Structure 1
Amino acid sequence: MSEVLGKVLVVDDDEVIRQLIAVNLNLEGFEVATATDGQDCLDRVREVMPDVITLDVMMPYLDGWTTAEKLRTDEDTSHIKVVLITARAQDDDKRRGRGIGVDAYLTKPFDPAELIEVVRDLAARDQVRDQR
Structure 2
Amino acid sequence: MSGAYGRVLVVDDNKVIRQLIRVNLELEGFEVVTAADGVECLDLVHEVRPDVITLDVVMPRLDGVQTAARLRADPRTGHLPVAVISACTPYEVDSGSAAGVDAFLAKPFEPSELVRMVRRLVDRENAVPLDGRRGAGTAGSAAG
TM-score (norm 1): 0.92
Aligned to 2:30: 30
Equivalent pairs counted in the alignment come to 128
Unaligned runs of 5+ in 1: none
RMSD of the TM alignment (CA)? Answer: 1.5
Aligned to 2:140: none
Q: AA paired with 1:37?
A: D
Unaligned runs of 5+ in 2: 133-144
Aligned to 2:70: 70
> Per the alignment, in what secondary structure is the counterpart of residue 27 of structure 2?
helix
Measured after TM superposition, the shift of residue 97 of structure 1 is: 1.3
Mapping for residues 29-68 of structure 1, pairs under 5 Å: 29-68=29-68
Identity value in percent: 55
2:102 aligned with 1:103, yes or no? yes
Measured after TM superposition, the shift of residue 95 of structure 1 is: 1.7
Query: Higher helix share goes to which structure?
Result: 1
Measured after TM superposition, the shift of residue 119 of structure 1 is: 0.3
Moved over 2 A (4+): none
2:8 aligned with 1:8, yes or no? yes
Give me the whole-angstrom Cα distance separating, in 2, the residues matched to 1:122 and 1:5.
11
TM-score (norm 2): 0.84
2:21 aligned with 1:21, yes or no? yes
CA contact (8 A) 2:81 2:102 kept: yes
Measured after TM superposition, the shift of residue 116 of structure 1 is: 0.6
